[in-house]
Amino acid sequence: MELAKLEQQGILRNIWSFVWVLFVICVAGIIGFLTYTDRLSTFKQPIQITQRSQIDAASVLINRKISEIETVMRLFKHELELLQPSKRVISHAFKTLFKVYPELLQVRWLDLQGNEIVRLELTHDGTLVEVDESALQNKASRYYFTAGISLVPDEIFITQIDLNVENGVVQRPFYPTVRAVTKATQAELGTGILVINFDLRPLLDNLNTLNTATSYLLVGAGTSKWILHPNPDKEWTIDLSTPPANIVLEVPHLWHQLSTQDSVPSQTIGNHIITAQRIKSSHHEVGGMQEIYLLAKSKDDLLPGLKLKAMKYAFAMSFVLCAFGLIVLILYVKHFQRLKGLSKALKNERDSLKTALAQQNLLISELAESQKLSSLSIMVAGLAHELNTPVGATRMALSNLKSLLDTLSERAKNGLTKAQFEHFISQSEKVILLADSNNQRAINLVKSFKRLSFERAKDDNSTFNVLDTINILKQSMAGLFKQHHVTLEVHIPENMNIQGDAGAFSQIIQILITNAMDHAFGASTANKIAIVATQKNTHVEVRVTDNGAGIPPSLQSTIFDPFITSKRHKQHTGLGLHMAKAWMYQAFKGDIKLTDSTEGGTQFTLVFPQPQNE
């Protein structure tokens, strides 16, 4: 029977081992895949940030250039309208423009038939020349002239980006050009078309500087051509009549996305990380500036290298996990053999923890009793301080009376006059009245202390007057108030009653008062504590407020937890507010909470639920 049981346990252990190995392999595969994905994402992140920076910088450069072109056109047109130069001197104005804005290739004035009236241009060696009248051309067939004729005043047309063509031939070396066209009127020349060719080589050079060791920039002018590409053979294919290369052919998926949105976040396409953005054009006429497509594309060998690196991390993680699984399996076999002993040890530990918990609860109970005794000792100290005055006064009165008697006896030996006897009777009555008054004051103090002590000791549930209970406590603690320079203000209706334990109530209020005197006040003599009670529909609300330093924010959330104190170095246990909250619930089913104070100090609000009258 025992042998069969052992064999069954062995079979179950073997099955569990097989399931565990299968589980570890599956988990290792999943963790390996997640590690690969996470590491690859981490490796790609700096590339994506770099590409986003490239795109943003390129967008700023292009938008700044477009804005600059429009500004130059408007300023020069305005200058011509102010100067109104003749045909003979207008070329001087054009030359001035070349000096102010060096990134110009041509400035022309065309009449409304498309004939060039004046044309200044830069030669290959950078020389500015005015083209002879015999070499001037008719541009009526050009798209930019057609667009310029239809412009309204102050409107500017910016043409598409292309290579500059003269007499039907692309100029070499290449001059990437964009033309700005506007309609203007001169006194002598009449209405004509002002055309300025802007040299885009500086812009493309600046865009080229944005390339990094990991990512290069591609710029497409519309969907027909690249104007900037890491492979120069793919640039200006439409202008040069070479095999087409453009965004539609190279990254069609990305182009479809950009057709519906202006920006595409970094994504992996093939073996490249690509970030893209579209700059919309406001010139939709034929020949107008194309939409600009900006692509930041990682180097060809970058992403495969990152994938290989991430795969190594994933393989290492899977290997470690498998090794860990094997170790766990080995440890499990040993653990299985020690399980019984560990269970016994665990039981012993649990019993020890139960004992420790019971001891801790006992300690808290003893500390709570200590807190009660501490409160009582505080009242005794205050009572002793208060009794010192009436008892001292009584002693002084009795001493005066003895002195009067001695004087009377001495005078009786020598013959006592009536006036002397009446003086003795008068002074004796005053002394006796003073002694009786102070004696009665001492009796009242002792009675109030006895009543307060009795209420705390009897621990019963009854209806008590709130104002009377507070006044008794106030009288018992009068000495402490003087010692700490504290003024206690009480604002409680005379007929307000609470059902519950009067002793617990005075104990809670005393804790809040002594807590304020111990923690809130410094050397000031203007210390104040206010007790305000308000009758609500279903409960009585008592607020205890001081104008002291307040409770540090770091302690406010845990102020009612046991053993929380900021003055442990002065032997404070940190149980006062914890016991106050516990007594509020046990004796009244109420609550105490820290609330905002308008005095700038601390305010505790006590809520005492009251039974509803039927």
**SS3 readout for 576-591:** HHHHHHHHHHHHHCCE
Q: What is the pLDDT of residue 297?
A: 94
Beta-bridged to residue 267, according to DSSP, are 274
- Read off the pLDDT of each residue in 241-268 and give the average, rounded to a whole number: 92
Q: What is the pLDDT of residue 244?
A: 93
Q: Does 12 reside within a domain?
A: no
- Read off the pLDDT of each residue in 364-385 and give the average, rounded to a whole number: 54
Q: Give how far Cα 396 sits from Cα of 387, 389, 391, 433, 439, Å.
A: 14, 11, 9, 13, 12
Lowest mean pLDDT across 116-120, 228-232, 497-501? 497-501
Lowest mean pLDDT across 104-108, 413-417, 436-440? 436-440
Q: Residue 10 above 80 pLDDT?
A: no
Given 275, 300, 325, the domain boundary residue is 300
- Read off the pLDDT of each residue in 80-107 and give the average, rounded to a whole number: 85
Q: Give how far Cα 357 sits from Cα of 14, 103, 364, Å.
A: 42, 86, 11
Please indicate whether residue 425 or residue 184 has the higher confidence score (pLDDT): 184
Q: What is the pLDDT of residue 405?
A: 75
Q: Residue 125 above 50 pLDDT?
A: yes
Q: Does 423 reside within a domain?
A: no
CATH number at residue 227: 3.30.450.20
Q: Does 15 reside within a domain?
A: no
Q: What is the pLDDT of residue 69?
A: 92
Given CA atoms 331, 334, 339, 341 in this order, what sign does their dihedral have? negative
Q: Residue 609 above 60 pLDDT?
A: yes
Give me the percent of the chain exceeding a pLDDT of 70: 82
Please indicate whether residue 167 or residue 189 has the higher confidence score (pLDDT): 189
Give the C-alpha separation, 60 to 62, whole Å: 6
Strand, coil or helix: what is 48? helix
**Can you give the residue range of the structural domain that contains 513?**
459-614
What mean pLDDT value characterizes the chain? 81
Q: Are strands 165-166 and 169-170 parallel, antiparallel or unpaired?
A: antiparallel
Q: Does 384 reside within a domain?
A: no
Q: Residue 25 above 70 pLDDT?
A: yes
Lowest mean pLDDT across 296-300, 437-441, 476-480? 437-441
Q: Does 373 reside within a domain?
A: no
Given 245, 270, 300, the domain boundary residue is 300
Residue 589 burial (CB count, 10 A): 11
Q: What is the pLDDT of residue 454?
A: 45
Helix (H) or strand (E) holding 362: helix 302-414
Residue with tokens 């190594």: 312
For 196-239, the pLDDT digits (tens) are: 999 999 999 999 999 999 999 999 999 999 999 999 999 999 99
For 530-542, the pLDDT digits (tens) are: 899 998 888 899 9
Contact 213/198 with Cβ under 8 angstroms? no
pTM reported for the whole predicted model:
0.52
Range of 86-100, 142-156, 403-417 with top mean pLDDT: 142-156
| Total tally of structural domains belonging to the chain | 2
Amino acid at 10: G
- Length of the chain equals 614
Give me the percent of the chain exceeding a pLDDT of 90: 29
Q: Using 50, 70 and 90 to split pLDDT, how confident is the model at 614?
A: very low
Q: What is the pLDDT of residue 2?
A: 47
Q: Using 50, 70 and 90 to split pLDDT, how confident is the model at 391?
A: low
Q: Does 220 reside within a domain?
A: yes
Q: Is 74 exposed, middle or buried (0-12, 13-18, 19+ CB in 10 A)?
A: middle
CATH number at residue 536: 3.30.565.10
Nearest to 235 by CA among 253, 209, 208: 208
Q: Does 601 reside within a domain?
A: yes
Strand, coil or helix: what is 99? helix
Given 282, 300, 318, the domain boundary residue is 300
Strand, coil or helix: what is 491? strand
Beta-bridged to residue 463, according to DSSP, are 499
Q: Residue 147 above 80 pLDDT?
A: yes
Q: Does 339 reside within a domain?
A: no
Nearest to 488 by CA among 516, 468, 508, 461: 516
